[in-house]
Structure 1
């Protein structure tokens, strides 16, 4: 995994901007701590930071290849899981390879097939190619958006990068936020509308899209979208196909020339991946695999079950680590560490995020990085297979908005009256929801419950899942750890997308289909355990500290957030019993303590990034 950045300016001599390119590239050093490279050839400049995973001795970037006296240059962030098959096909077409890395396979694929190469790729990626013949830059992002890619159109060209911080280093990109950006922060966030960069001039290249920029301008094309087709297989056949797809994609993603580990929470999703990884390692005689879990000091003393987290994870982690005989590492953080990392995680995202859920993941990944370079994680299973409570509750299915953004009036009440009037948060939310529902690819003849569940699945895959993928990428790459997410394999996602809801809830259970597919792989007690999400701290010291930080922020006249929020309302919450509650201040994503931490993150972001609100 790596960090990429660059810019195209058609009427400037870029050779005199080498220091600017170096500065932009340096902002991404956390994504690629192993090597750096830059390349300038008017009118294009590319920068790259490398995290060596495949063929560490070779594969330096930017990678340059010539064919028929024409030059092609690539910067690339990601992994191609079907690189071996592509390499064989390209060799048969006359391509000669100098390395064992997938970077060269990707560049050769572009040289052979041009922009249509993306249709052949299986992997997670964001890349840019300068095509000398066509005099254009070609950008592409993987189908589910596992790897990030942002861009800014300027009068004389284009600027791009893996993270907004790289673009913001360029003098033509300012940290300005308009009304819609504030609405993203306060009513949509920490989820984000696909394509929206929050900063006024920055856009996100959406998952499954490509971009071509030449002297005539910018053209963006969707090369992949979910397709609705009738599902013809019965439950047994469907479960078998899911098992085959999951096993195939996991084994592809275990390929690496550096140590690979697995994240293990004791839940269904991570336990399944860990079990399949152990089976593969045993079969291929690769020895014992390392697994990692995260928790908080004294969390067992303060834990209280609720609908989103019905039970503690610790006993289940121990159960699976012993069952699989993994080399397990227990990582635990105390409240002061988690709070200190709130600022680190905000800067890793370039935006406020998910409070301690972000900061603890940042710390978790930092500890894992001491022992491994690549990790396997269970993101996306709930979105793909229908695991969240909102898939199963009528009041959330019929809420008329994103199920993670219920009670928007509560969120809007946090805004200063004049800001609320300016950004019109409820209207903005309703418009974004209507847009999302309008995108759903309908299946002819599908009505009622089936159509409703297809819509809910679409909202989760295209709106909520990117939130968690963005979080996982930024927190892990913030410390130079590559995380792979097998449940995001596009073949698996597309297949399960068309499975009827009654098969998805086989056995009357959430993720019933996945459970059935994993029979014999996991012990029954783990297989049928109730879902438990990524853990949050339950220590009252966390609430006390972040609440005090929020109050200190409100009492500091230099706090930039003061002009945006209703300080009186926030103080009322801080002094009420709701301060420690699980009320949905930010939909189902944040309890009272997370609300205070989020506001502190917003203030830190505004101050650190010198954000201008216009």
Structure 2
């Protein structure tokens, strides 16, 4: 994977502004430590940071092709899993290739198909192409939003980058946060509404969209949508097809000139990926490396609850006995969860999941010592119905986000300038906007329609949030993490599996459990869902309490511009227990919420945030 950035202005020369790209590009070094490259034109300047995975010598960027006297230049971040198919089609059309990198395939695909190139790609990607012939910049993002890309259009400039921090390095992009940005952050965060970059000047290209910027017009267009189709197969045929899809997706995602490893949590999703991947390794007489997260004294501190019923450790052992992987446990110090809160914030550029992010950051940092390319189990819950709200009739009929239903409780932590904002209407409007392109069949039952709506809601919101987290925390450590369950073809297939098959035996992810029985022991297959593990350490809690107390005792801290001091002090005195509802999904209560407030203050300081309400 890589980091991309650039800017353009078709109404004036910008050649003398090259110094801006150097700073924008250098702050993405974590996304591409292996090399850097630049492209300069009278109206266009691109920057690229490369993490070399495929074709280390031939895949350098920016890459330029000259066709019929016109140059086409690309900066690209991603991995195309159907490269061989797209390449064969282009060869049949008479194109020639000088590298075996997918960068060249994407560029020639654009030259041949223009905007429709994205309809031929299956993978994870964000790329920008300068089309000299049409005098335009074309930027595209993958179908499900695995790879990020932000942009700004201001004073005839287009400015873009893989991360917000790169955008903020351009002198035209300010750190002002608008009313809509603060509404998004505090009422829906850590999710963001489609296209919202939180900062006033910054937008994000939504998943499955492309942006075309010409001298006199700008076009933002959606190129893919989840479409309802009839599912004609029964349980056994569906199991066979899902098994075939998963095995082929994982094979395709093994493409790398570096070794492949996998994350193993002991849950059904990562365990299934590890088992299939291990089978592929055994065909080559190789042993798969797997990695598991743990915390110092986690077993001693662990207390089961409605969300985390059991610890992961025993299930990791069971899976590993089955697949015979080389499993390494990355153990995180509870003190480090606190001390690295700022690194986690800087990786994401906005306050998100506090130590839930930091733990993934530290886990990826530990894994990076052993490898560069891994597979992970995110997204199965969203597409196969793994969360509690999929089988709760009240949640299914609720006209709001089931993971973010306590907006009034959120408001109570903030001062009157925030309280006057209409959280409820904002959230309801964003909820309703989700379904403007909702697709279902006339023959669908009422329950099937509700499940389709819940699936779409999860894919567009909850899943993108988790993918953002995975991308930022892994790439902050120059680690490429691939997500087999976020495959376009698999998502389309799963969307159309009828509820009676999807939830076979009355279980969440019922059909996936049936597929997994071929690969995993029953104790793992039938395990109740457990979220990403978070620390329950009193050491961590006390460090967070001490830091929040120090912040509240210094009125120069910017967080006083938005918080209700009395409510936050009450939260502190209760050591986080006074806010007894999860801030987001099944996460962020108690110490996690206090850590979020600490990160909010860090963010306002570090990014020199100016809030306009």
TM-score scaled by length of structure 2: 0.98
Cα deviation, 1:28-87, whole Å, max 9, x if unaligned, reads 111000000000112111100000000112210000111111111000000010111222
Is 1:605 aligned with 2:603?
A: yes
CA contact (8 A) 2:570 2:578 kept: no
More displaced stretch, 248-257 vs 570-579: 570-579
Q: Distance in 1 between matches of 2:127 and 2:575?
A: 49
Query: 1:114-513 residue pairs with structure 2 within 5 A?
Result: 114-285=114-285, 287-421=286-420, 423-513=421-511
Q: Distance in 1 between matches of 2:148 and 2:351?
A: 17
CA contact (8 A) 1:141 1:209 kept: yes
Q: Distance in 2 between matches of 1:60 and 1:474?
A: 23
Task: Point out where structure 1 has 5 or more consecutive residues left out of the alignment.
Answer: none
CA contact (8 A) 1:150 1:205 kept: yes
Q: Distance in 2 between matches of 1:362 and 1:211?
A: 31
Q: Distance in 2 between matches of 1:170 and 1:470?
A: 23
Question: Offset of 1:280 from its aligned partner?
Answer: 0.8
Query: 1:24-173 residue pairs with structure 2 within 5 A?
Result: 24-173=24-173
Name the structure 2 match of 1:16: 16
CA contact (8 A) 2:127 2:139 kept: yes
Question: Offset of 1:94 from its aligned partner?
Answer: 1.6
Name the structure 2 match of 1:589: 587
- What secondary structure, in the 3-state scheme, does the structure 2 residue paired with 1:30 have? helix
Question: Offset of 1:588 from its aligned partner?
Answer: 3.2
Q: Distance in 2 between matches of 1:331 and 1:386?
A: 29
CA contact (8 A) 2:373 2:481 kept: yes
**Pick aligned residue for 2:554 from 549, 553, 556:** 556
Name the structure 1 match of 2:567: 569
CA contact (8 A) 1:308 1:389 kept: no
Cα deviation, 1:96-146, whole Å, max 9, x if unaligned, reads 111111111111111111111111101000001111111101010000000
Question: Offset of 1:595 from its aligned partner?
Answer: 0.6
Cα deviation, 1:300-339, whole Å, max 9, x if unaligned, reads 1111112221110011112212221111111011111111
Question: Offset of 1:473 from its aligned partner?
Answer: 0.2
Q: Distance in 2 between matches of 1:321 and 1:517?
A: 19
CA contact (8 A) 1:262 1:274 kept: yes
- What secondary structure, in the 3-state scheme, does the structure 2 residue paired with 1:212 have? strand
Q: Distance in 2 between matches of 1:548 and 1:455?
A: 43
CA contact (8 A) 1:582 1:590 kept: no
Aligned length: 612
Name the structure 2 match of 1:544: 542
Question: Offset of 1:582 from its aligned partner?
Answer: 5.1
- What secondary structure, in the 3-state scheme, does the structure 2 residue paired with 1:98 have? coil
- What secondary structure, in the 3-state scheme, does the structure 2 residue paired with 1:585 have? coil
Q: Distance in 2 between matches of 1:135 and 1:87?
A: 26
- What secondary structure, in the 3-state scheme, does the structure 1 residue paired with 2:291 have? strand
More displaced stretch, 318-327 vs 200-209: 318-327
- What secondary structure, in the 3-state scheme, does the structure 1 residue paired with 2:340 have? helix
- What secondary structure, in the 3-state scheme, does the structure 2 residue paired with 1:596 have? helix
Q: Distance in 2 between matches of 1:461 and 1:257?
A: 31
Change (3 A) 1:587 1:378: closer
Structure 1 runs of 4+ aligned residues shifted over 3 Å read: 585-588
Change (3 A) 1:24 1:350: same
- What secondary structure, in the 3-state scheme, does the structure 1 residue paired with 2:403 have? helix
Question: Offset of 1:447 from its aligned partner?
Answer: 4.5
TM-score scaled by length of structure 1: 0.97
Q: Distance in 1 between matches of 2:565 and 2:454?
A: 35
CA contact (8 A) 1:264 1:291 kept: yes
Cα deviation, 1:127-184, whole Å, max 9, x if unaligned, reads 0111111110101000000000110011212111101111110000001101111111
CA contact (8 A) 2:7 2:157 kept: yes
Question: Offset of 1:400 from its aligned partner?
Answer: 2.6
Cα deviation, 1:505-555, whole Å, max 9, x if unaligned, reads 112211110011222111221111111111100112222221221222111
Q: Distance in 1 between matches of 2:290 and 2:55?
A: 24
CA contact (8 A) 1:407 1:585 kept: yes
Question: Offset of 1:12 from its aligned partner?
Answer: 3.1
Question: Offset of 1:444 from its aligned partner?
Answer: 2.1
Question: Offset of 1:577 from its aligned partner?
Answer: 7.0
Q: Distance in 1 between matches of 2:364 and 2:58?
A: 26
Cα deviation, 1:437-475, whole Å, max 9, x if unaligned, reads 444223224342221111111110111100000000000
Name the structure 2 match of 1:534: 532
More displaced stretch, 104-113 vs 587-596: 587-596
Q: Distance in 1 between matches of 2:578 and 2:309?
A: 18
CA RMSD in angstroms comes to 1.4
Q: Distance in 1 between matches of 2:442 and 2:393?
A: 24
Q: Distance in 1 between matches of 2:444 and 2:322?
A: 43
Change (3 A) 1:257 1:580: farther
Q: Distance in 2 between matches of 1:201 and 1:566?
A: 28
Cα deviation, 1:340-388, whole Å, max 9, x if unaligned, reads 1111011111101111110010011111111101010001000000001
CA contact (8 A) 1:399 1:406 kept: no
More displaced stretch, 581-590 vs 541-550: 581-590
